[in-house]
């Protein structure tokens, strides 16, 4: 059964629908995500490929490393997706771009070795020093 939610960028130029059935949300503490978000970590919601449908696609594209591409709104700069070369069967959206970001709980945290001092682990969330397994 579909669990469809909407989302988009700050200015409204980019919009999407996402089916949250089977979604997992986690905080990434890697340096790339810290720089991309300007914060201590970046929450991502990951679904199987095909569960994200663009209504108005982002035009901004940046290869943040040899492992991933990030898409963003070129009008307002909102970071929208992380697309891993090794994860082509999945799509990850910036959780904060969901219209109802609280609709999916944080269940894991990755790259915790880069967690900022003072930032506590999310209670009950799986913790990984590097990538999740």
Coil, strand or helix: which one is 117? coil
Cβ 95 vs Cβ 104: under 8 Å: yes
Structural domain count of the chain: 1
Say how far apart CA 125 and CA 49 lie, in whole Å: 24
Q: Does residue 128 carry a pLDDT above 80? A: yes
Q: Residue 133 domain-assigned?
A: no
CATH number at residue 123: 2.170.150.70
Domain that holds residue 30: 4-127
Provide the percentage of residues in the chain whose pLDDT is more than 70.
98
Query: Residue 73: what are its φ and ψ, rounded to 5°?
Result: -80, 120
Assigned token pair, 68: 């991933």
Confidence of residue 133 (pLDDT cuts 50, 70, 90): low
Mean pLDDT of the chain: 93
Helix residue spans in 30-73 (DSSP H): 31-37
Q: Residue 72 domain-assigned?
A: yes
Q: Does residue 87 carry a pLDDT above 90? A: no
pLDDT per residue as tens digits for the range 49-60: 999 999 999 999
Q: Residue 115 domain-assigned?
A: yes
Cβ 55 vs Cβ 39: under 8 Å: no
């Amino acid at each position: 059964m579909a669990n469809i939610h909407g989302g988009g960028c700050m200015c409204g130029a980019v919009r999407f629908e996402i089916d949250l059935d089977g979604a997992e949300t986690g905080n990434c503490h890697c340096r790339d995500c810290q720089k991309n978000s300007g914060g201590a970590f970046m929450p991502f919601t990951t679904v199987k490929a095909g569960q994200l449908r663009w209504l108005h696609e982002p035009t901004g594209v940046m290869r943040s490393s040899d492992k991933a591409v990030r898409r963003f709104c070129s009008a307002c700069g909102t970071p929208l997706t992380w697309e891993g070369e090794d994860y082509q069967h999945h799509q990850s959206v910036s959780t904060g771009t969901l219209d109802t970001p609280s609709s999916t709980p944080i269940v894991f945290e990755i790259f915790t070795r880069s967690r900022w001092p003072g930032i506590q682990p999310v209670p009950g969330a799986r913790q990984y020093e590097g990538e999740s397994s």
